[in-house]
Chains A and B, each alone.
Chain A
Amino acid sequence: MAASLVRIFSKSCRQISRPWGASRAAWRSRSTNPAADVSSDQAAGGVSFPPLQTYSEEESMMREAVKKYAQERIAPFVSKMDENSTMDEEVIKSLFEQGLMGIEIDPEYNGTGSTFFASILVIEELAKVDPSVAVLCDIQNTLINTLFAELGTTAQKEQYLSRLTTDMVGSFCLSEAESGSDAFSLKTRADKHKDYYIINGSKLWISNAEHAGVFLVMANVDPSSVPEKNILGQIGQGYKYAIGMLNGGRIGIAAQMVGLAQGCFDNTIPYTRQRVQFGKRLFDFQGMQHQIAHVATQIEAGRLLTYNAARLKEAGRPFIKEACMAKYFTAEVATLTTSKCIEWMGGVGFTKDYPIEKYYRDCKIGTIYEGTTNVQLSTMAKLIDKEYDS
């Protein structure tokens, strides 16, 4: 009796479960498509599902303007800056003049009032000429400005944002001698003393140290000595802020790596088309063609990962995994590309007379700063693990 009841019950359960399963699948597909339609419409003004390399008119104009500016105002200084290990003051000044140091900031604070994707395009174009200049622009836009814009009080924004967009470079001080990847084991303390804080500790890898006018220092605070004026955001939330902002910064670094790889590639291919050995152009050897095509594919894939992560972030959709993928992958691509480019150029690729070896030296930092490759991979794995939770 019980058994037959169970049988009937289980049969009816099975019948119930099928329509439930079907509707769940329908719900899943319904939930993904509308979002895709909305973001592609927003991205391309009415056209559904445009390619990732689709830009608004202003994004195209900006990219052209920065390309021209970088070729004329930065390229001539690159080898001298490299030799002297110094960023030229004129170059920094011209970055401000072009409006490249406050791309997402509101015109109220003298910013450009454009989008995150525009920043990405700018960083990519700058990196094609000099990755070091690109990262100065990247840090200012994706780390410093973002922190002030999102967390600053009106007074702080007025005091700092107008300067950051106009003539003041910002610095980001997180790492210490004993804490890099293990960022939040940092030891620097900020102890309250009347209405100011005394900061004790020492930071390493202080970005733009020689040029910065404002330094964002991450420090431990005794929570009972409560905040005010020169604290950005709320006490105790620093970890969350830093992590949040590094997620976006990651995409900036990916853009830098894409630009680096492309710039190096663009400087190399003309040589392979010109140089003749054994009666034909280097480019005409099948071995070369296969290597070149492979590298070009990797750069394109890296670019698409970067652009997609940027568009996801702009659309307010989850993007952390994609940002990690972009940074990890493009850093690898930059290493591969620059290494191959030196080989393709032969002896001249190795010499300082050509820009190739600088790209090769510069590429390694992509696997290190703003979260090492291993950290990116672990972050991705954690997110992937969560995806299979339900």
Chain B
Amino acid sequence: MSGRVLVGVKRVIDYAVKIRVKPDNSGVVTDGVKHSMNPFCEIAVEEAVKLKEKKFIKEVVAVSCGPQQAQETIRTALAMGADRGIHVEVTGKDYDTLGPLQVSKIFAALAKKEDAQLLILGKQAIDDDCNQTGQMTAALLDWPQGTFASEVSLEGDKIKVVREIDGGLETIKINTPAVLTADLRLNTPRYATLPNIMKAKKKKIAQVKPADLGVDITSRLEVLRVDEPPQRLAGVTVETVDDLVAKLKESGTI
């Protein structure tokens, strides 16, 4: 086993920013807006670094797909403890239409090229909430998957994953190589300490293009329109239960 883990990190609009739709309804405003690493990707990086610290794996490689700015996100991963980075350059219109299917093809190609033992992703990105990339990548590679992971432990050449599912917690044991996706309670990501930020400067980020990996990134989807959710209407207060029942009947709800 190579002892190498690939971690996917996505650059998204910061969670604290108030999202605004572009006037032409083609998308959301991203120019000049604060971006950071997707919170679930931070959890993924933390898990990979922890595995390295416990000596289960030897190398953590951070991967991001996007324009030049994606390198900032990779640097943050390096500052958290990743060993090196790979920036898959996707720009302009291609980047606008880049979605889970294309990204999973890219990750699958990289996982093979880098002889990865493990691929850890965030369960979903907070901008599109797709929750698809991990699953698609596993399918393309024909690898087992442990998604919504809230606990991960390596046992020999198998991985025990505790998954958060609607019904509660599910524990599975899967073979390696495998794909894991990180859920909220998997860990608490560390801060990038100042010494680690300095060390990250010296770590390498390789640049590749999707074509170099033999991946076709044309999208099969077309975004027709983006709208804000409808304004939430004010409610009505009622005095008694009878009033409530009457109002519900009136509105045709019951």
Chain A residues within 8 Å of B, Cβ to Cβ: 57-58, 61-62, 65-66, 68-69, 73, 97-100, 103, 107, 110-114, 118, 122
Contact with A along B94-108 (1 / 0, CB 8 A): 000000000000000
- Shortest distance in angstroms between A105's beta carbon and chain B's nearest beta carbon? 10
Chain B residues within 8 Å of A, Cβ to Cβ: 72, 75-76, 79, 191-198, 200-201
Give CA–CA (A112, B197) in the complex, Å.
Answer: 9
Q: Max chain A CB contacts within 10 Å: which of B75, B76, B194, B200?
A: B194
- Could you write out 19 A-B pairs with CB less than 8 Å apart? A57-B75, A58-B197, A58-B201, A61-B192, A61-B197, A65-B193, A65-B197, A68-B191, A69-B191, A73-B191, A97-B193, A98-B193, A98-B194, A103-B194, A107-B195, A112-B194, A114-B194, A114-B198, A118-B194
Given A112-B198, A113-B198, A114-B198, A61 and B191 touching (CB < 8 A)? no
Q: Once the chains bind, are B195 and A111 in contact (CB under 8 Å)?
A: yes
Give CA–CA (A73, B198) in the complex, Å.
Answer: 21
5 closest cross-chain pairs (CB), A and B: A99-B194, A99-B195, A112-B194, A99-B193, A112-B195
Q: Once the chains bind, are B79 and A65 in contact (CB under 8 Å)?
A: yes
CB-nearest residue of chain A to B76:
A61
Given A57-B75, A58-B201, A65 and B195 touching (CB < 8 A)? no
Q: Once the chains bind, are A61 and B75 in contact (CB under 8 Å)?
A: yes
Q: For residue A65, which residues in chain B have a CB less than 8 angstroms away from its CB? A: 79, 191-194, 197
Give CA–CA (A247, B127) in the complex, Å.
Answer: 48
Q: For residue A111, which residues in chain B have a CB less than 8 angstroms away from its CB? A: 195
CB-nearest residue of chain A to B196:
A99
CB-nearest residue of chain A to B190:
A97
Q: For residue B191, which residues in chain A have a CB less than 8 angstroms away from its CB? A: 65, 68-69, 73, 98
- Shortest distance in angstroms between A70's beta carbon and chain B's nearest beta carbon? 10
Q: For residue B196, which residues in chain A have a CB less than 8 angstroms away from its CB? A: 99
Q: Once the chains bind, are A100 and B194 in contact (CB under 8 Å)?
A: yes
Q: Once the chains bind, are A62 and B197 in contact (CB under 8 Å)?
A: yes
CB-nearest residue of chain B to A94:
B191
- Shortest distance in angstroms between A264's beta carbon and chain B's nearest beta carbon? 20
Q: For residue A57, which residues in chain B have a CB less than 8 angstroms away from its CB? A: 72, 75, 201
Give CA–CA (A65, B79) in the complex, Å.
Answer: 10
16 new A-B contacts at CB < 8 Å, known A65-B193, A112-B194: A57-B201, A58-B201, A61-B75, A62-B197, A65-B192, A65-B197, A69-B191, A73-B191, A97-B193, A98-B194, A100-B194, A107-B195, A111-B195, A112-B198, A113-B198, A114-B198
CB-nearest residue of chain B to A103:
B194
Give CA–CA (A57, B76) in the complex, Å.
Answer: 11
Q: For residue B195, which residues in chain A have a CB less than 8 angstroms away from its CB? A: 99, 107, 110-113
Q: For residue A113, which residues in chain B have a CB less than 8 angstroms away from its CB? A: 195, 198
Q: Max chain B CB contacts within 10 Å: which of A61, A97, A111, A122?
A: A61
Q: For residue A97, which residues in chain B have a CB less than 8 angstroms away from its CB? A: 193
Q: For residue A61, which residues in chain B have a CB less than 8 angstroms away from its CB? A: 75-76, 79, 192, 197, 200
- Shortest distance in angstroms between B3's beta carbon and chain A's nearest beta carbon? 26
- Shortest distance in angstroms between A259's beta carbon and chain B's nearest beta carbon? 17
- Shortest distance in angstroms between B187's beta carbon and chain A's nearest beta carbon? 15
Q: For residue B194, which residues in chain A have a CB less than 8 angstroms away from its CB? A: 62, 65-66, 98-100, 103, 112, 114, 118, 122
- Shortest distance in angstroms between A142's beta carbon and chain B's nearest beta carbon? 16
Q: For residue B193, which residues in chain A have a CB less than 8 angstroms away from its CB? A: 65, 97-99
Give CA–CA (A107, B197) in the complex, Å.
Answer: 12
CB-nearest residue of chain A to B194:
A99
Give CA–CA (A66, B191) in the complex, Å.
Answer: 9
Give CA–CA (A113, B202) in the complex, Å.
Answer: 13
Give CA–CA (A316, B174) in the complex, Å.
Answer: 60
Give CA–CA (A62, B193) in the complex, Å.
Answer: 8
- Shortest distance in angstroms between A128's beta carbon and chain B's nearest beta carbon? 16
Q: For residue A99, which residues in chain B have a CB less than 8 angstroms away from its CB? A: 193-196
Give CA–CA (A66, B79) in the complex, Å.
Answer: 13
Give CA–CA (A100, B200) in the complex, Å.
Answer: 17
